[in-house]
Copies of this chain bind each other. A is one copy, B any other.
Amino acid sequence: MDKIEIIGIIAGFLTTAAFVPQVYKTWREKSTKDVSLSMYTVLFMGVLLWLLYGINIQSISVILTNATTSLLVLIMILLKLRYK
């Protein structure tokens, strides 16, 4: 694997993993006042389209990162609706 693809894989890992501390914080503190529902809604649509894109270009890394991110973003939407 060349260096550029390794950069892409690390980038994908970070932009997906980033949502874990937010989900954990929100789940623990049960407060979402400062979190934008619009952000997570638009992000969810975008990530689902990236997933569709990944399936179309048959890129395992695009599929895996966006499948995971869509799940984390969906959890944030549910937490936001639960703890308004």
Residue numbers of A with Cβ under 8 A of B are: 4, 7-8, 10-22, 25-26, 29, 31-36, 38-40, 42-43, 45-47, 49-50, 52-53, 56-57
A-B contact pairs, 24 of them (CB 8 A): A4-B57, A7-B53, A8-B49, A8-B50, A8-B53, A11-B49, A11-B53, A12-B46, A14-B45, A14-B49, A15-B43, A17-B42, A18-B38, A19-B39, A20-B39, A21-B39, A22-B36, A22-B38, A25-B34, A29-B34, A31-B34, A32-B34, A33-B34, A34-B34
- Bound CA–CA A36/B22 (angstroms): 5
For this chain, the copies found in one complex come to 2
- A22 contacts across to B, CB distance below 8 A: 35-36, 38-39
